[in-house]
Amino acid sequence: GAGVSQTPSNKVTEKGKYVELRCDPISGHTALYWYRQSLGQGPEFLIYFQGTGAADDSGLPNDRFFAVRPEGSVSTLKIQRTERGDSAVYLCASSLTSAANTGELFFGEGSRLTVL
Amino acid sequence: DQQVKQNSPSLSVQEGRISILNCDYTNSMFDYFLWYKKYPAEGPTFLISISSIKDKNEDGRFTVFLNKSAKHLSLHIVPSQPGDSAVYFCAASANSGGGADGLTFGKGTHLIIQP
C-alpha cells in the first residue's frame, strides 16, 4: 500500500511480557517517528529516526522501551516487561524530511496495546 | 507541563456555520504549527500548517490564524460540513537546535457538526 503500515493493529498481552510493534513507512521517507497516544491525550513523541540512526530518543519513557530501524526502512518498537500503564495506541509516522524542517508527518493507523 | 494546550475537549457546531478551534502554546521556540484531523480507528491526517513568519494561511474551507504575541492559534472551518466531525489536534515544532525533533501535540478537540 501507499501509506504507513503498522502491525499488529491490536495486541493484548499480560503484565511482564515482551512486545514488538512493527512499522513500515512510506517508501522513500527517510524520517520515521514513534508516538504514543493514551486515552484522552494527544500523541506523545517517543523517538525519531533519520535513516538507520535514532536522531532523538528523548521521548522514550524508560529503558524498557527500545526501537530499531536497521535498514533505514521498517522499524520495530520493543517494550520489555510490559506494565499496565503501557496500554495505549502506538502511532508510527514517516516524512520526507524531519518535522523540524516543516515536513508534515504521515501517520499509520496505530497499534493498540492492552496490557492486562 | 503541557506546551501545547487545547482547552476545549469538545465543540458542537451547526452544519453550515463556522467552526473555530483554539490552541495555545507556551514554548517560544516553536516556529511551525500544524493541525491534524483524526477519525476513530485511524491515524491523524495532516490538515493545514502555518510558519511563524506568517499570521494567516488559507486552504479552501480551512484557515489557520497565528497570533505570536499571544502564543495563540486558531483553525476556522467555514462552512462546516458533517464530514468535518472528528478530533482535531494542534501540533507545534521547534527549529532544529531547540528541543526534540518531533511534533508536540495538544490533547485534541472533538468537533461535532450537527445537521
pLDDT for the residue numbered A103: 63
Q: A 38-97 residues with CB below 8 A of B?
A: 40-45, 48, 55-56, 58-59, 91, 93
With beta carbons less than 8 A apart as the criterion, state whether B38 and B86 touch: yes
The Cα A5–Cα A76 span in angstroms is 12
Burial of A76 (0-12, 13-18, 19+ CB in 10 A): middle
Q: What is the pLDDT of residues A7-65, one digit of tens each?
A: 999 999 999 999 999 999 999 898 899 999 999 899 999 999 988 888 889 899 999 99
Q: For chain A, give me the number of helices (H) and strands (E)?
A: 0, 11
Residue type at B103 in one-letter notation: L
Taken as a whole, chain A contains a residue count of: 116
> Residues of B with CB below 8 A from A93's CB?
43
Residue type at A11 in one-letter notation: K
Do B101 and A40 count as a contact with CB atoms less than 8 A apart? no
What Rg do the C-alpha atoms of chain A give, in angstroms?
Answer: 13
Cis peptide before B82 (omega within 30 of 0): no
Q: What is the pLDDT of residues B92-107, one digit of tens each?
A: 988 654 334 678 999 9
pLDDT for the residue numbered A2: 80
Q: Which residue in B96, B100, B107 is closest to A58 by CB distance? A: B100
Residue type at B49 in one-letter notation: S
- Whether chain B has a CB inside 8 Å of the CB on A12: the answer is no
Q: Which residue in B34, B41, B102 is closest to A33 by CB distance? A: B102
Q: Which of B7, B49, B54, B103 to mutate to test the interface with A (most CBs of A within 10 A)?
A: B103
Which runs of E-coded beta strand occur in A60-102?
A: 65-68, 75-79, 88-95
Q: Name the stretches of chain B with pLDDT < 50.
A: 97-100
Residue A98 forms beta bridges with which residues? none
Residue B75: closest CA among B92, B51, B57, B93? B57
